[in-house]
Chain A
């Protein structure tokens, strides 16, 4: 399988401060890769290294098989980039800005820009300084997507977007993957990555904490179950079941955690009369929070 991004012991220090500490990571061509971490974890540092805006202290990065520095111009032609804080001159109109940026890429069909603007509901004739943060972000999204790059590098792409536009954005990401494009997107919110990412990496304080598929991460999470019975039950009946932990029995209400299959618990509960059942998957936010704070199992 081809590799879109390959980082090898990538390290970046700013004076005493460590931005990135020996990061090794592969992003496969054609996948949507979520890059997660709290603010200040080194997400933007990584992205700016990929774009040759900053240079590594040590270690190497290969992007689309090329060197970010030596092949910068060639690479940038094939990359779409959205910065964490998308900034352009506010005096110009959105369409003017996009036409100019397209021009720097040798021209982008006007129809492509208007199509994206229509989908994101952006008024291209509006002056950028008159736009809200969310609408400005749409300009950023369009300029990253408009030339259908092989690789999209998106730093906190959904910040400021309302939920409807967020959905449109996620559709764009899904379509990009279908078209064979690779998407590398950072976020500090799991839920916005969860919906589209094939794999995620979690970084914290410049180090890689975990990489996994979203499916595996999800399967690693447990169920939080609450059962309400018509009559009191004995705790021993349930505490011995495989995968059941943290059992609390309060009269007729039983709460516990279930790792793995819920089948034994359901079968055991079926011997009694149930008046209520509630099962929540553990919020992935919680899982990531555990990684962030360094308390993951």
Chain B
């Protein structure tokens, strides 16, 4: 080990080994630059999910009877089984909304924030191509989404026995968290695409994406109340949890719908991105 003050025969750029390892591509660099915020998201989401899941043994049918009739569509009133409870409070409300915000916040940083600051000019002046830049950035966002979902899965498996959630198979948890990752990636794609297509600022992109996410969530919840169940199928949340992966395991068709919408969003965003002026 050499001391930092010792004159070195090999030139150094003052970079850490970690920074060097992650400086190789825009994808890796984006992950490295966002490492703290990604880890914070994963830890916070995992811990919150664990906390709520751990409440299950204390939940009785009585305490859930107080859920108003109008809120039935949100699925918060089923405490007859562990899967029912988790589909309500944890995988039906807390975690999906958190990952919507993750997707909106991170997606708004992928293009919009750098365009706002002017850094995008520098990146695009490099031999990279706009589509490649967008895909590298989006891949980093997707990797973050997978990390968050993995944290949620780990949290569930950690409390599975102690919180009496054994009736749900490991496969069921895995299937639900795969859908969770796909949901986060979908909203990340939406925010990335809005930023790429319009050049709007970070705050606007975040606001619009998060707003659409919450609106879609509410639509799915209230649709049965207004007798329009079919509306539920228009929201990504239906493909995320409508097939009840906790009970039924992996639903390839639902996952395919989420993935397909993501691909369409990114493709549309990339196409508009290549056509427009980069803002200053």
5 A-B pairs with C-beta separation under 8 A: A83-B121, A96-B19, A104-B127, A125-B14, A143-B122
Cβ of B7 within 8 Å of any chain A Cβ, yes or no, is no
**B13 with A113: CB separation less than 8 A:** yes
> In the bound complex, what is the Cα–Cα distance between A88 and B24 (angstroms)?
17
Partner of B13, one of A51, A79, A83, A95: A95
**A93 with B124: CB separation less than 8 A:** no
**A48 with B33: CB separation less than 8 A:** no
Which residues in A have some Cβ–Cβ distance to B below 8 Å? 44, 48, 51-55, 72-74, 76-77, 79, 81, 83, 85-89, 91-96, 98-101, 103-106, 110-111, 113-114, 123-125, 143
> In the bound complex, what is the Cα–Cα distance between A225 and B134 (angstroms)?
62
**B126 with A76: CB separation less than 8 A:** yes
**B126 with A124: CB separation less than 8 A:** no
**Given contact pairs A87-B117, A89-B33, A114-B11, A73 touches B122 in the complex (Cβ within 8 A):** no
Q: A105 to chain B: which residues have CB within 8 Å?
A: 126-127
Closest to B130 in A: A72
Closest to B36 in A: A91
Closest to B123 in A: A104
Per-residue A-contact encoding for B61-105, CB less than 8 Å = 1, 0 else: 000000000000000000000000000000000000000000000
Per-residue A-contact encoding for B26-40, CB less than 8 Å = 1, 0 else: 100100010000000
Chain B interface residue count, CB cutoff 8 Å, equals 30
**B124 with A53: CB separation less than 8 A:** yes
Q: A106 to chain B: which residues have CB within 8 Å?
A: 127
Per-residue A-contact encoding for B117-137, CB less than 8 Å = 1, 0 else: 111011111111100000000
**B15 with A93: CB separation less than 8 A:** yes
**B122 with A110: CB separation less than 8 A:** no
**B119 with A89: CB separation less than 8 A:** yes
Q: B280 to chain A: which residues have CB within 8 Å?
A: 44, 48
**Given contact pairs A48-B280, A88-B122, A91-B33, A104 touches B15 in the complex (Cβ within 8 A):** no
**B14 with A94: CB separation less than 8 A:** yes
Q: B29 to chain A: which residues have CB within 8 Å?
A: 100
Cβ of B3 within 8 Å of any chain A Cβ, yes or no, is no
CB distance from A143 to the nearest CB of B (A): 8
Partner of A100, one of B11, B23, B124, B128: B23
Q: B16 to chain A: which residues have CB within 8 Å?
A: 96
Q: A125 to chain B: which residues have CB within 8 Å?
A: 14
> In the bound complex, what is the Cα–Cα distance between A103 and B19 (angstroms)?
12
**B13 with A98: CB separation less than 8 A:** yes
Q: A95 to chain B: which residues have CB within 8 Å?
A: 12-15
CB distance from B40 to the nearest CB of A (A): 15
Cβ of B255 within 8 Å of any chain A Cβ, yes or no, is no
Q: B10 to chain A: which residues have CB within 8 Å?
A: 110
Q: A103 to chain B: which residues have CB within 8 Å?
A: 23-25
Closest to B128 in A: A104
**A73 with B14: CB separation less than 8 A:** no
Q: A53 to chain B: which residues have CB within 8 Å?
A: 121, 124-125, 277-278
Closest to A143 in B: B122
**Given contact pairs A83-B121, A110-B12, A76 touches B24 in the complex (Cβ within 8 A):** no
> In the bound complex, what is the Cα–Cα distance between A81 and B11 (angstroms)?
25
Q: B233 to chain A: which residues have CB within 8 Å?
A: none
